[in-house]
Structures are given as C-alpha cells and as structure tokens.
Amino acid sequence: MQARDLMEKAPVIPVLVVNDVEHAVPLATALVAGGLPVLEVTLRTPVALEAMKAMSDVEGAIVGVGTALNPDDLKRAQDHGAQFAVSPGFTTELGAAANALKLPLLPGIATSADIMRALDLGFKELKFFPASQNGGIPMLKALGGPFVDVVFCPTGGINASTAEEYLALKNVVCVGGSWVAPAAAVKEGRWDDITALAAAASKLSTS
C-alpha cells in the first residue's frame, strides 16, 4: 500500500496519543466502526509501540506510527506492526530509511525548501504541519502553485469545524486530527462517543 492509498481511505486520519495500552483495542475498534480505518499512533508515550501492536490485530485497522523522528523509530514501529509512518518534519536520512524499509512515509513539511528536499527522494504525499500555525488554508493554496504534483495531509490545529475547509482544497486529500478521539472520552472509555465522532468525520466531503 502506498501513501496515497492510505490518504484516500478516509477524509480524516486520527492522531492518537495512547497512555494506557488497555485502551488500544477498544479505541481502534471504535474508530474503525465509525469509518476511520487509518490510525496514527504517536510515539509520545511509553506504551505507544505496545499499543500499536495491539491495534494491528483489530480487523480493518491500518495502523501507523506518528512522531517518527529517525530511522530507529521507523524500524521499531515496523517491528511492532506499523504499516506506515508520519513524521513532524523531514530529513534525507529519515526519507532514505523509509524507502529502504519499504514503509510508506508521510513526511512533515512547513516550507517550500522542505517540499523540495522531500521531492528529491520521491515523496509527493506530504504532511503539512503544524497547519494552522504555518498559514493554514492560504499557505496550502500558495504552495499549490509551484508544487502541482504534491498533495497534503494538513495536521495541527484542525478540528471538526475547520476540517471541511481544508478538504475542499484540490491539493488536500485528507487531514489529521485528534478531535475524533478526545482524551477525556478515551480515559473514561466512552467508545460509542468516539465511534459517533469518527462517523461524522468519515462523512466529510473532499475536493
């Protein structure tokens, strides 16, 4: 599966911070049930890799690693079942490692120079991060001029009320967001609420 295939599975990729591995399976199950099968588990907690491995057993879930910073992160995540990776930024070392591992990568970019470095290694599907802080929709429109073959998954500061505005852009395939799995709902085990949020997000229209 290529990065573009993953981006086209659903309009929203949930960005997940898992603090308790016991939440992993019910969280993944709730999101998949709501129509969001592509799940980004960020490397921000001690149980992230274990959670990723557990989520990989959920039927229909396509689990990837987020906050991947270096080649070692990619290898460890792949060994724990990650089928793709997302990074907050881009380095040639990270891109080369992803290519060597044959692990689809959505590299994070914020500038034209970032995009050009990513293109040098064959990456045309990119994460625009942090989206709202880096100019949001006007910036993405501007980047569409010189980079006609590049598509984005903007992430950062996007919520249920702004997601559709991003998705209306022709160079945006999907968005990343944490609003579909609020920390309080996860902590309290309100899985039906998360399924409802995911279902609403899965119905957002794209360009």
Catalytic residue positions, numbered: 40, 127
Q: Is the dihedral of CA 28, 86, 11, 125 positive or negative?
A: negative
Tokens at 58, concatenated: 């959920």
**105 beta partners:** 85
Roughly what angle, to the nearest 10 degrees, separates helices 48-55 and 24-33?
Answer: 50
Are the beta carbons of 31 and 181 closer than 8 angstroms? yes
Are the beta carbons of 82 and 64 closer than 8 angstroms? yes
Euclidean distance between CA atoms 207 and 205, whole angstroms: 7
